[in-house]
Structure 1
């Protein structure tokens, strides 16, 4: 049940928080500019909750949590009493109106910086960009197993996310990049990655696969560390220190294979447990055993644990994984750097989608956002903070697009007003609202269509 309602819950939490902060930016600046705010709504549609303050502003929580608005006194929206005209939005200076409209996206940028700052102070576990198996372009370029990517075109890369953000634009533009890699011995060398040779069917969602790179993951040996009493493994005769060689004829190289094959092969299509043929090595002898898992919460349970990591395995873990953590002052600079990196990547992707160099399949809608919110929340507080910061940046950037009815469309009108010395005509503004509405509905429809394709593919 939680697998269905969990994403919905976290979508409401995430969007509710970010929309509230965005609309509060408009509200806060409007109040300081002397504009009367009539209503502050989080969500659209019928109100689930509302109240009024002493200024007469209605605060609403509405039924559809996919947006919000701040409604201000405005003569373009309806008649205004003569004694209240000084508080009308349209009576304010061009600078004041610009500040009020720009405040929403600006507050989303502020929220993102704050979320990333707290994320770095708390510490976020990350996977370092260590290369595993290479084929194709990566192998031809000279990349080798366990090389650590430390720079892409001179930009430091601490994680696989940093590497992908740096490589993706070059891959879409078919331009080669220079990688600085570090071997296990600490020696650094330069490698030219010929992304200009990527084929026309390049799929940006599988960038590393197209280049021929598999991220390296350390593994533990497939040796049983402990067998639980009264478990299927104990009943089958498995013992601590047994080395698992094969499961149902599938060779086992490491503990990841054990963790993959048992759930994959240990339960049938009808949800019932299946007996597993196990080939194990014990004291230099090979044994053939049969083990039938026990099903708990739909998962096959056998009752074995991996061995504790030895010194070599611990060193591998330290090379492959890290925790990005900084003190409160250092985290300020890191949060601005992360915001700048993700903002540049988002604008770059939008620009490439407009010019056709990136697929429109990259657009995501509420279903994907809900799944991401749920997944990030399950991964921990710092990962959820990263998700919130990323979505907050996306909201800011989308709202700055020069589309009428969005904040960017209003800012575009104000730029025209600044240049020509007078506001755009009512006819232009009304026509723009219809065009903007069609564009937003079209983009939302495409995003939801992409969500459904991902969901059912």
Structure 2
């Protein structure tokens, strides 16, 4: 329940901030162009609070916090007195109307850069792109534990998330990736990861795993948290013991213990479990017992549990001084925009699944998770959402800002506005496209909640 309420709250806060900046962009430029603004509303529906300024603009906070709008004086919507026709939106030049409409997305772009600047000044903590273990494709390509990914193709990466995104993009494009790494001996090497060989229909959200990468921070130490009474480990292992090896095979993380115990049980007879206890290294003889795993299937068990969900300390930090943070924020905005547009292109061409389209449920969950991780991550989330709002609004779909800009560009070319009939038809088409997009987003959101 706490997660649900937190998700709702942080979604309202996020959308409130972004929508306010977006609509303020429209409002500010409209006033500079001499347009009379009737209402500036954050949210839809019945106003919960409102106040009117000296220019006659009503500022309101409405009941449904899922958007907002700026209502301007327009002869196409209401009858305008002769004395006010000069301040009606429809009577402004086409370039003024373009500036007013484009101001909303531009405000979101500026906000994205400002948020990233603040994030870099504070410093965003994350995990480095250091490999903890490799299997399959990655191991065959020569990647080994301790390699730190520095660049994928010509794109430098600082964190595991950036490396994962670069791998995913290459996989969706069915391309092999040239990966520059720094090994454990501090030598730089370039290896080729044959992502084009991934099978058709691979899970786009799990590309690094399917390629055989286990990031270092995913690996939890095999430190015993509990020992079951009457089990094979009873009276031998103790909470706090760090398992170092099973039957002569080295253990680096907790997830390796279960497969090694299965191998020991299938071999039959006792085996040696090496542990570290109080600074001493001990070798203990232990015989697995036949039993059932959590899935009800036969398993070999020793009766120990490991602590889960304890994330290691961050080992990467992206931080700049007040001045250096500005170009860093601009570069990051460019990378995020390139990734977003690239994903849209791939979805349109069929290279990427439309499952990547998310709606308000996912936004709410990510907003809550980001807020829990700290101010730096919440600023990053807001920046990404603000940039997404900018890009979506610039799509040439009638009812969106991009659709209106398309009308005005056509007007510039033909020398006169589109007919009311043509614009009305465009609005219907735009509403249908928008409804379909929202329906798909809700479907993906709901599907993500269904247990698999």
For the criterion TM > 0.5, the same-fold answer is yes
Look up the match of 2:406.
Answer: 412
Go from structure 1 to structure 2 and tell me whether the alpha carbon gap of 1:196 and 1:223 turns closer, same or farther (over 3 Å shift).
Answer: closer
Look up the match of 2:448.
Answer: 454
Where does structure 1 differ by over 3 angstroms across 4 or more consecutive aligned residues?
218-225, 236-242, 251-258, 279-288
Distance 2:352 2:285 in 1: 54
Look up the match of 2:331.
Answer: 337
1:425 aligns with 2:419: yes
Distance 1:219 1:113 in 2: 34
Distance 2:168 2:283 in 1: 50
Look up the match of 1:314.
Answer: none
User: 1:281·1:287 contact (CA, 8 Å) conserved in 2?
Assistant: no
1:346 aligns with 2:346: no
Distance 1:33 1:42 in 2: 22
Look up the match of 2:165.
Answer: 165
Distance 1:61 1:202 in 2: 45
Offset from partner CA, 1:229-273 (integer Å, 9 cap, x none):
xxxxxxx99999952559xxxx99578679x9xxxxxxxxxxxxx
User: 2:11·2:368 contact (CA, 8 Å) conserved in 1?
Assistant: yes
Give the CA deviation at 1:378. 0.6
Distance 1:239 1:337 in 2: 52
Alignment of 1:376-391 (within 5 A): 376-391=370-385
Look up the match of 1:273.
Answer: none
- SS of corresponding position for 1:388: helix
User: 1:37·1:70 contact (CA, 8 Å) conserved in 2?
Assistant: yes
Give the CA deviation at 1:155. 2.0
Offset from partner CA, 1:3-29 (integer Å, 9 cap, x none):
221100000000001000000000000
Look up the match of 2:182.
Answer: 182
RMSD: 3.1
User: 2:236·2:284 contact (CA, 8 Å) conserved in 1?
Assistant: no
Which range is displaced more, 130-139 or 411-420?
Answer: 130-139
User: 1:242·1:280 contact (CA, 8 Å) conserved in 2?
Assistant: no
User: 2:123·2:318 contact (CA, 8 Å) conserved in 1?
Assistant: yes
Offset from partner CA, 1:280-335 (integer Å, 9 cap, x none):
876647599xxxxxxxxxxxxxxx999xxxxxxxxxx89x7111111011111110
Among 381, 392, 395, which residue is 2:386 paired with?
Answer: 392
Distance 2:222 2:135 in 1: 26
Alignment of 1:120-199 (within 5 A): 120-199=120-199
Give the CA deviation at 1:182. 0.9
User: 1:50·1:59 contact (CA, 8 Å) conserved in 2?
Assistant: yes
Look up the match of 1:14.
Answer: 14
Go from structure 1 to structure 2 and tell me whether the alpha carbon gap of 1:237 and 1:65 turns closer, same or farther (over 3 Å shift).
Answer: farther
Among 426, 429, 438, which residue is 1:444 paired with?
Answer: 438
Look up the match of 1:243.
Answer: 241
Give the CA deviation at 1:365. 0.5
TM-score by length of 2: 0.82
User: 2:224·2:243 contact (CA, 8 Å) conserved in 1?
Assistant: no
Look up the match of 1:263.
Answer: none
Look up the match of 2:53.
Answer: 53
Distance 1:166 1:280 in 2: 39
TM-score by length of 1: 0.81
Give the CA deviation at 1:426. 0.6
- SS of corresponding position for 1:217: helix
- SS of corresponding position for 1:200: coil
- SS of corresponding position for 1:75: coil
Q: Which sections of structure 1, spanning at least 5 residues, go unmatched?
A: 228-235, 261-278, 289-303, 307-316
- SS of corresponding position for 2:185: coil
Look up the match of 2:263.
Answer: none
- SS of corresponding position for 1:47: strand
User: 1:38·1:56 contact (CA, 8 Å) conserved in 2?
Assistant: yes
Give the CA deviation at 1:412. 0.8
Q: Which sections of structure 2, spanning at least 5 residues, go unmatched?
A: 227-233, 259-273, 287-305
User: 1:98·1:414 contact (CA, 8 Å) conserved in 2?
Assistant: yes
Give the CA deviation at 1:222. 5.1
